[in-house]
Chain A
Amino acid sequence: MRLFQIDKAILLWGLINEEVLSLFKKEDLLGITESRPYLYGLKNIFFLKNKDYNCFYLTDNMVGILFASGKIKSTYIFYKEKSDKGFLCPSGSLYVYLLSRLHNIEVNFFPQGELEKSLDKDASTLGGKPFVKKEDLKFVVLSQDELIGTNL
């Protein structure tokens, strides 16, 4: 797929909840972000393909170019918990939230779907495959939940 084929896509971040599907039409174009390190995007894209949704996959660092080129009309972030402090979301959510807001894209929060154990917990592995030497593992920053506060 090429960038020119993307127009007014809906960006999905995190682990999608089946209930959100009622908000989308089959003709909507859904951009499925990878959501590192857990690779929730892989689970999402196969799930949505099986339901015949029109979707494409992108890695997290590609969201910037999509926002900058006006390809995204709205963002959905799937959160873990909601409180009066804001939304507790998986690692990386702040990146997507801020980039959405900095491009004046509306952000919708939705409770995340059922959690499955991920093979990856940080950047040292991808799909369970190691990319960092054992002696350097202590220099890999653990991914942690991020609070998207009401003040942001």
Chain B
Amino acid sequence: MYSSPLLFPVKLEGKNIIVLDETLLPFKEEYIEVDSLKKALEVLGSMKTRAFGQVLLFFYSCVLFKEYSPSHLSQEFKRVRPTFAFEFLAELVEEEVKKAKTIQEAVDNFIKGFDSLRRKRAKRLAQILPSFPKILTICNVNGELIYLYEELKKLNKSCLFYVSETRPYLQGTRLTFWELRKNNIPAYLVCDNQAAKLMKEKKVNCVITGADRSTTKGDIINKVGSYALAKLAKYFNIPFYALVQYPEDIDIKSIEIEERPQEEVFMFLEEDFSEVEAVYPSFDVVEKCLVTQMINIR
């Protein structure tokens, strides 16, 4: 049985939201208790959780902090992480509430349904991939690669992952490589810049990433470094697949790309960087022409 705490990194326990502190992985598995909106925004802003974790954090904030409407909460969350579509999550909650008795029931229904959809998405991707996919991936898709591995096994397909470390937060190393190896899944870790060599030497035959945003036209926004992988994959004629959810009918260029504080570029290093200038765009836009196929949640 394969599992990862990253499948559900945020949980609701009584009157607290319990958040897996992803910044401490892989050496410490610790949880943070969130009992106020202020704390929730702190946890979000300091990247203790991200991706599906921030979705769960938003939903559970709607459950616990009922003095604020989902729409108001989405604005607060958006102020902290501007690229993500929290306003869309607020609409989802409001829509679900119409069908359920309470916000909690609406959120529970949504999360349960979403996990089932993630499994189905992994199954569809497994069917598309070749008999021995050698997959290059970046950042972390919250355990879904484990679902993919399970589905590939069911189809008697072997599989090998190459995980790009994903500077500066090292989500590839600390989250994806860790969760794959923890489940004894064949996975190798590489520096972000080793991608071209892997592709040139035909050590990978597909690229799979998540997507923080996507459009109905086929463009995605994902972790910085995704564009380079897509561009190189196109050059080497390697398919690039993106796991997306709820593509929006918008112009990808209208989405604000979050730029994080420059000191975070050096977060794991020990020298004094106070005099050094750095850039930290958090996300890349990958336009449709570089995306072989979006694998939608629905």
Contacts and interface: CB of A to CB of B under 8 A. Distances in A.
Interface of A: 1-3, 6, 34-37, 39, 42, 45-46, 49, 55-66, 68, 91-99, 102, 122-124, 126-127, 129, 131-133, 135-136, 139-141, 143-144, 146
A96 B241 CA distance: 22
A123 B167 CA distance: 10
A61 B164 contact: yes
B231 A62 contact: no
Chain A interface main SS type: mixed
A133 B27 CA distance: 8
Contacts of A96: 193
B26 A132 contact: yes
B291 to A, nearest CB: 14
Interface residues of B, number: 53
Interface in B264-298: 265-266, 268-271, 275-281, 284-285
B189 A65 contact: no
Contacts of A56: 276-279
B97 to A, nearest CB: 38
B131 interface: no
Interface stretch (B74-82, B85-93, B111-119, B169-177): B169-177
B194 interface: yes
Given A2-B259, A60-B167, A143 B194 contact: yes
B174 A131 contact: yes
B262 A1 contact: yes
Nearest to A2: B259
B191 A63 contact: no
Nearest to B232: A98
6 contacts: A3-B281, A49-B276, A61-B138, A63-B228, A122-B191, A126-B268
B232 A59 contact: no
A62 B187 contact: no
Contacts of A68: 227, 231, 284-285
